[in-house]
Chains A and B, each alone.
Chain A
Amino acid sequence: MKKTLANSTKDISLVKRYNLFSYFRHLILLLWSSIVLFPIFWMISTSFKDSGDWVAWPPNWFPSFLGGGYEPTLHNYRQIFAFSSMGEELSREATDQAYTIWGALGDSASIASVSSLIALLLGTFLAYSISRFNVGGKNFRYIILTIRMVPPIVIAIPIVMYYAILIPYATDTLFQIRFSLFDSYIGLSLLYVATTLPFVIWMMLSFIDEVPYTLEHAARIMGSSRLYTLRRVVIPLVAPGMVVTFLFIFILNWSEFLLALTLTQPKVTTMPVLLNKFQSAVEGRLYGPQAAIGTIITIPVVILGVLIQKHLITGFSFGTIRK
């Protein structure tokens, strides 16, 4: 009798301990969630604040319809999208000027998507031939990684000299035209292809290695050519992987900053560079438009990232860790 009672109290205390642990866990996880979300929340709320509220003291946390202190306004968004309604009546103050981000948005989207696509195609085929034929020797796949690990500034300095000096000089002497890749779509895209190829190769290797070779073998015996086998057997099987890889390197290219900052401007401008421009504006920092730009750059990337959540780890760890 006594024994069972003791046992049952012990059980209860165990349950209690488990509950306590559970509360503790939720507390910590909620704390970290708030740390993670707060900067993003602050950016989004700043993007709806008018110039007086950007750095008001004490800062306003919530818009007026939630009982907070600032009137939400679309002014910042209207400014950066340069909507015509702002047109004439603008004052000359920097906070009221219209800026346009359409150009940068287009540049960013086109450069990121084109270079991701090229890298995806090249990388997939190379990954296929590494996986199937062991091209380049056993260590080739590791040698490729070095490109990703070199700090981009070490790449940027040679490239800027190459684009701005050697190529114009060479084309001038050979064809009598000065052709420069500096500040051009092609120049930046080519470099993005080079810097994301290691990721593509490694991600695609992890997908292609899983496709059984016997399938291709069967197709070959039935008389399909190599390209046909690749197109109708291998590619359909790794297509989901290709989509994931494309989105992953799209995110990387979309957020790339150093190379875009050093190799472009003023003609070609990507979004991160544009955000930085507002930073060093002579008129002082324009927090509101910056926040609006930040929101616009971040939202598509976060959506894409959440879509490929499960594969992010494969990408960032070069396929070393798979779920």
Chain B
Amino acid sequence: MVDPVKSTKKRAGFVAWLGKERVFRLIPFVIVEGFFLLLLAIPFILTVYISLLKWRANRPFERAYFDGLGSYVKVITTEDFWWALGRTFYFAGTAVILELLIGFFLAMLVYKSFRGRRFYITIFLIPMMVVPVVAGYNFSMIYVDSGPLNQILSPFLEMFGINPRIRWLSHPAAAQWAVILADVWQWTSLTFLIFLSGFSALPQQLTNAARVLGASKWQIFFWVHLPLLKPAIIIAVVIRLMEALKIFDQAVLLTFGGPGTATETIAFFLWRQVWIFNKYSFGAAASVLLLIMFSFLIFYGIHLLVRERAVVQEEQNI
């Protein structure tokens, strides 16, 4: 028999125990950490284990056998893996540079108040919210051989006697630029936004002081504004680069890795290896390797973010 008085007392004691600071503070932490442990850590250990086996998913798992570092050697000696990795960095780098330049320029034009400012800002932000897959689809419509791009170009092309119905996406370099431009179209809005808030936070006194001391507009820009904007620039680079290295969605809809492997990013390459060719142990080894390679980048990126965040907050407090 359970004594009701005792059990309520026990319950009250439990609640009080939960309410203690040293317990209460840990409740959400334990839940989230347990969740991550179950959902991310165990799969990762499993991946390391599978990467040491030789196994393809079209065979039963029981027939897999231990292969040591065989899959790792295979990944490292696969030329396409390195090409895909290099291509990813090339796409991400080019796209991020273009985004930074355009975003910076636009923010510079918009940050002072003038009529229509809010309108422009709202419009410039729209691409960021468009679903990436849809952005890829949109650009595939534009690059189609009888699409609007060719129509706009046709007067020039016909002048030189070229058939205006160019198949942009069948040419490797053009297809690569198509992927890059789709990314630029979508994410310039983010760099624009970051720089806009950077520009709006510029302290007016410093600009005025420099002007009183006789600095020209360009001098003010280079020696006063740019150094103050450095945190915003670094934050934009880190955030955009980390996102751009994931590039997958637009490329699938736009080119599907083609022509050939010209637009195969690392995500697409691995997706094809694992989900189309069923090379599970290859994929596992590759993802372990990638995680190791990326972890350096990630930690450096986070280190930069932390540093610049402190600077930004200091500036805001002044």
Across the interface, name the chain A residue whose C-beta is closest to B134: A294
Within 8 Å CB of B295, what residues of A? Answer: 146
Contact of A313 with B193 at beta-carbon distance under 8 Å, contacts A59-B147, A149-B301 already known: yes
Interface: A321 (CB within 8 A): yes
| Most chain B CB inside 10 Å of its own CB: which residue of A150, A190, A193 | A150
Contact call A194/B35, Cβ cutoff below 8 A: yes
Majority DSSP secondary structure for residues of A touching B = helix
Count residues of chain B with CB under 8 A from any CB of chain A.
100
Complex CA gap A262/B274 in Å reads 10
Complex CA gap A151/B298 in Å reads 10
Partner of A161, one of B27, B139, B280, B309: B280
Partner of A122, one of B24, B32, B124: B32
CB distance from B122 to the nearest CB of A (A): 6
Complex CA gap A32/B312 in Å reads 29
Majority DSSP secondary structure for residues of B touching A = helix
Contact of A302 with B146 at beta-carbon distance under 8 Å, contacts A157-B283, A158-B44 already known: no
Interface: A6 (CB within 8 A): no
Size class of the contact patch on chain A: 35 or more
Interface: B69 (CB within 8 A): no
Task: State which residues 39-64 of A face B: CB under 8 Å.
Answer: 39-40, 42-43, 46, 55-59, 61
Interface: B19 (CB within 8 A): yes
Complex CA gap A174/B27 in Å reads 29
Task: State which residues 247-305 of A face B: CB under 8 Å.
Answer: 251, 254-255, 257-258, 261-262, 271-272, 275-276, 279-280, 287, 290-291, 294, 297-298, 301-302, 304-305
Question: What are 10 contact pairs spanning A and B, CB under 8 A?
Answer: A28-B109, A33-B123, A42-B138, A59-B148, A154-B294, A261-B271, A272-B134, A305-B126, A313-B197, A320-B312
Residues of A within 8 A of B (CB): 22, 25-26, 28-29, 32-33, 35-40, 42-43, 46, 55-59, 61, 122, 125-126, 128-129, 132-133, 135-136, 142, 145-147, 149-162, 165-166, 169, 190-191, 193-194, 197, 225-227, 251, 254-255, 257-258, 261-262, 271-272, 275-276, 279-280, 287, 290-291, 294, 297-298, 301-302, 304-306, 309, 312-313, 316-318, 320-323
